[in-house]
Chain A
Amino acid sequence: MYPAAPAVDSVWAGWASDFSLELFWPGRHYRSTNPCRLIALRRTVHDMPTESDSLMDDRPAERTATAQAAAPLGADEFQALLVEVLPSAFGYALRLTRNRADAQDLVQDAALRAFRAMKTFEAGTNFKAWIFRILTRCFWANHRRRQRRPNTVDFDDTPDLYLYARSAEHGLPWQGEDPARTLIDRLGTERVSEAIGQLPEEYGVVCTLYFMEEFAYHEIADVLEVPVGTVRSRLHRGRKMLQKSLWYLAEESGVVSELTQREGDA
């Protein structure tokens, strides 16, 4: 939950020697190189979407794909469509279960359920989203048995542009052409995956669908059977949390020190 913005007189802003703007906010320290951000940051705190939704939200998802009157899916057609989406379904299942063996079981379970329910698939709608929806239901119902690893990152009160601000504090944004890319590349696939895994489940699932599958908001809503507004708010918070998680892992793994050292030597 976002805190109430502090009174104007409790916010101190001043120009740092490099002409960037430092904002001291109770409980956080944000430094922006963009002076306009002082006002934007204050107002943004008030404008944040509230996270009043939960996984128990059973309102129907917004349907955007238009069902066409067509013959039901045949077994061969179903199989052909399924084979196409198997790699991404396995990737999604792996993010959910965090275990390759469990992910394979989950995908097989979902495939069989989908096969038995293929007459309910509406021709002309998004097959991949339909499979992912069944896979998600299977996960919640049968495969969610493993204890999630306890979070080591405190996600409360994560400000916007977290990675940018922390990188700026360490002088990282000014390295090379694409500083964010340098940081992510140094972290590597395993740590980026771990960062997603650190997120609270409802945020991790939305972020997985967003990053891995490049689903649009309405498609994620369709898969998770929640309103688009819920997806938007979870994604907004999830992205901020992910940045905090990435920074935590970058510090823990020595990537930050390595890049800072390299910048100092340059």
Chain B
Amino acid sequence: MTHLNRYTCEEAFRRLDDYLDRELSAEEMTLVHEHLEICAGCAREFNFEASVLRGVREKLQQIDLPDSLQARILAALGNARR
């Protein structure tokens, strides 16, 4: 790939969310990745954003199912089946 095919900072930044969510095409993912390999500024910002997403995700996924809920729902379904 030549430098003519490379993304600028602007082009890479516009794809930040989709890149982090893997919602880009394979070609676009590669182009963003290549830009991040040569641009320390963008790489720092992308890494920061990715870390925020990971951190928030881990915090929000720490929820336990109440012990009684499953039994309560299965009992309700049992009644509905009769």
Query: Which of A's residues lie within 8 Å of B, judged by CB?
Result: 32-37, 39-40, 43-44, 47, 75, 79, 82-83, 86-87, 90-91, 94-95, 100, 104, 107-108, 111-112, 115-116, 160-161, 163-164, 167, 173, 178-181, 183-185, 187-189, 192-193, 196, 208, 211-212, 214, 216-217, 232, 235-236, 239, 242-243, 246
Q: Point out the residues of chain A lying under 8 angstroms from B39, CB to CB.
A: 34, 36
Q: A83 CA to B63 CA in the complex, in Å?
A: 16
Q: Point out the residues of chain B lying under 8 angstroms from A212, CB to CB.
A: 57, 60-61, 63
Query: Which of B's residues lie within 8 Å of A, judged by CB?
Result: 8-10, 13-14, 16-18, 21, 23, 39, 41-42, 44-45, 48-49, 51-57, 59-66, 69-70, 72-74, 76-77, 80-81
Among B49, B56, B69, B77, point to the contact of A184 (Cβ < 8 A). B56
Q: A250 CA to B80 CA in the complex, in Å?
A: 47
Beta-carbon contact of B49 and A164 below 8 Å:
yes
Among A33, A44, A192, A236, point to the contact of B56 (Cβ < 8 A). A192
Nearest CB of chain A from residue B56's CB, rounded to whole Å = 5
* Also in contact, A163 and B69, with CB within 8 A (given A36-B41, A47-B14, A214-B57): no
Nearest CB of chain A from residue B61's CB, rounded to whole Å = 6
Q: A108 CA to B66 CA in the complex, in Å?
A: 13
Listed by A's residue number, 21 A-B pairs whose Cβ atoms lie within 8 Å are A36-B41, A37-B9, A39-B9, A39-B10, A40-B13, A75-B77, A86-B73, A90-B63, A91-B60, A91-B63, A163-B52, A167-B48, A173-B44, A180-B52, A181-B55, A184-B55, A187-B59, A193-B59, A211-B60, A212-B60, A217-B23
